[in-house]
Amino acid sequence: MKQIVLLVSLIMGITVAKAQTQPTPPNLDSSPLDMSYYPVDYPVLKIQDKVSEPLVARVVYSRPQKRGRKLFGDLISYGQIWRLGANEATEIEFFRDVKIDNKIAKKGRYTLYALVNEDKWTVILNKETDTWGAFRYDSSKDVLRSTVAVEKRSDIAEAFSISFQKSGKGADLLFSWDDVLVRLPITW
């Protein structure tokens, strides 16, 4: 009986030790999922009871990496629709009615796309949600479009980023990757 217990203990010990030395799977997502809020850091402020203004918007997106590639005009073709990230199409949810380019976007959830050009982007809110990439993009479901200027940055953003920055009577939705920064003004 002691030999059986010893043998089972030995096998279990080897199994546990081997399981702890397995390498990390090589197929981890290279474009991790992220979220941005306005007000910035809203969930943290909420649990700390420091919320000074109501939740206005949340963006859910994946963050592709530059990894030495030429991005705009190559990986992301000029004049073609882009999902503003990787994997699933980027989504924005407004928790109140807002204005973009003097057009009203009603409270609700939308997919964000862009027509990217060297000097300007046309940012698009589309009512088709829960979709992958831009493969089934349907312009007849566009809610609004806004054309905004491209700003060149002196530093390089390795990972695609979307964030909010307070401005005037609302916030700018910032898109940043490589040496490009684009601001979409949102008011309420």
**pLDDT tens for each residue of the chain, 188 residues long:** 665 545 445 555 555 445 445 555 666 677 899 999 999 999 999 999 999 999 999 999 999 999 999 999 999 999 999 999 999 999 999 999 999 999 999 999 999 999 999 999 999 999 999 999 898 999 999 999 999 999 999 999 999 999 999 999 999 999 999 999 999 999 99
What predicted TM-score, i.e. pTM, was given to this entire model? 0.83
Q: Where are the domains of the chain?
A: 29-187
CA distance 28 to 22: 15
Does residue 105 sit in helix, strand or coil? strand
The answer for residues whose C-beta is within 8 angstroms of residue 63's C-beta and 6 or more apart is 31, 32, 33, 34, 85, 86, 159, 160, 161
| Distance, first Cα to last Cα, the chain | 76
Burial zone of 104 (CB within 10 Å; 0-12 exposed, 13-18 middle, 19+ buried): exposed
Which residue from 175, 176, 172, 174 is spatially nearest to 186, judged by alpha carbons? Answer: 172
DSSP 76: B
Closest alpha carbon to 36 in 61, 66, 64: 61
Q: What is the pLDDT of residue 90?
A: 98
Q: How far apart are CA 101 and CA 117, in angstroms?
A: 19
For residue 144, the cross-strand partners are 125
d(CA 177, CA 188): 27
